[in-house]
Amino acid sequence: MERTFKVLRFDPEKDKKPYLQEYQVPARDGMTVLEGLFYIQRRLDPSLAFRFSCRGSVCGSCAMNINGRNRLACETQVSSLRGVIKARPLGHFKVLRDLVVDLDDFWEKYKRVRPSLIPSSPPPEKERLQTPEERGGIGDTVDCILCANCHGSCTVTGTDREYLGPAALLKTDRFLRDSRDGAGDERLRIVDGVHGIWRCHTILSCQEVCPKELSPTSSIMEIRKRVVKKRGSDGR
């Protein structure tokens, strides 16, 4: 059975504007959208550009908009989609070519929140210990694969270029929860502003498209609680 793919094509070096190109792809049981794109690239049109790496829902490279929803192409089954399969690049990003977007701004915001452990004490002889209960406090915030699906679906990132975005703020929450981290005050200072935690409109669009079923919105609310509590303890 053949399925119709409509893929957004755009090469800024030669195209004046994006356009949808149609392809017929022979579908089979278990085929993913990523496999369909591979078929197009290898059998029909080698000029098609898209990102991929692990093919196992781990790296997040193949994030794109499929039939109006941000998803990972490697885990989206062709059989789960009705009608024409439309593949477009993630929104709110500059398109470099076809389904490939410029993620430099996304990574800049990610780096801004200092996404690594910052201990307050010298390195121990072996390792920094953590009890099961302390590890449990971090929850599933460690599962973010930085696919940028949330960033591309957030209404605020589309209108405020300075907004840190849901992925960076979720990562901030991840380290605020970590008992081994000693930079809590600095982390709160970085995100406490009009382009940080207070810019979120709690629409939950980030949560709806997360392939790992995480909730950046919940993380943002938790950080807000920490900020308010700290202000109270500081007498502000």
pLDDT (tens digit, 9 = 90+) per residue, 8-58?
999 999 999 999 999 999 999 999 999 999 999 999 999 999 999 999 999
DSSP bridge partners of 235: none
Can you tell me the mean pLDDT for 137-149? 97
Can you tell me the mean pLDDT for 140-161? 96
Each residue of 156-175: b (16+ CB within 10 Å) or e?
A: bbeeeeebbbbbbbbbbbbb
Cα(4)–Cα(11) distance, rounded to whole angstroms? 22
Distant-in-sequence, close-in-space partners of 193: CB < 8 Å, separation ≥ 6: none
User: Are the C-beta atoms of residues 102 and 151 closer than 8 Å to each other?
Assistant: no
Residue 233 banded pLDDT, cuts 50, 70, 90: confident
User: Are the C-beta atoms of residues 151 and 104 closer than 8 Å to each other?
Assistant: no
* pLDDT value, residue 234: 77
Inform me whether the pLDDT recorded for 235 exceeds 90: no
Inform me whether the pLDDT recorded for 146 exceeds 90: yes
Q: Whole-prediction pTM value?
A: 0.93
